[in-house]
Amino acid sequence: MPAYHTSSSFTSSASLSEERRRPRSSFNRDGCVFRRGEGFHPYLQEQEVFLRSNTDTVDDESWHELGLNDFIIMNVRIGCHQFNRYSDVMVEHQRGLLNRGLEPWDMEEHESPILEVSLGYTASMGMMLFKQNELQRRRVHVGVFFCDLFTDRCFPRLIR
């Protein structure tokens, strides 16, 4: 279900020139008033989403109430935090590929909003998959360690 929007048809020339000078926030570009799928709850504030995306429990959030643009921006932000946490265990190619999708758009290249969103979403999904793979690898490593420890204690080596 789409988020609900507001529109204003009246803008003065003074407010239009002020808006051109002021950098536009990338949050809630569509001007949503209500949360997606919840027509009676106000849309989340930028500060609330920022704080919720910077916690350790970010994996427990579904983020279903955000509009698509804010959902992508928030997931790229989470992907950047996870990239910083796991970049030391990545090979160089993984690091370069994921970083290219998560970093801000290079000002010297031709801007393509569709490509930027696609790269951001793909890189955040890749970072999520890398994180899950790394957690699984650590679990297997710990399991093998305890299995070796159990075997050494129960069946001591006869030949040393």
Strand locations in 32-136 (E): 32-35, 38-42
pLDDT number for residue 92: 92
Look up residue 113 and give its two tokens. Answer: 């909003």
b (16+ CB within 10 A) / e for 140-156:
eeeeeeeeeeeeeeeee
The length of the chain, given as a count of residues: 160
User: What's the whole-model pTM score?
Assistant: 0.64
Tally of domains in the chain: 1
Q: For residue 73, is it within any domain?
A: yes
Q: For residue 34, is it within any domain?
A: no
Q: For residue 117, is it within any domain?
A: yes
**pLDDT tens by residue, the chain, 160 residues:** 444 434 343 344 444 344 333 344 577 887 888 888 887 888 888 888 888 887 767 777 778 888 888 888 888 888 888 898 888 989 998 898 888 888 877 778 888 888 888 888 899 899 989 988 988 888 888 777 777 777 777 766 655 4
Q: For residue 23, is it within any domain?
A: no
Q: For residue 32, is it within any domain?
A: no
pLDDT number for residue 157: 61
Q: For residue 105, is it within any domain?
A: yes
Look up residue 110 and give its two tokens. Answer: 């031709």
Q: For residue 33, is it within any domain?
A: no
Look up residue 84 and give its two tokens. Answer: 């910083």
pLDDT number for residue 4: 41
**Boundaries of domain holding 100:** 45-154
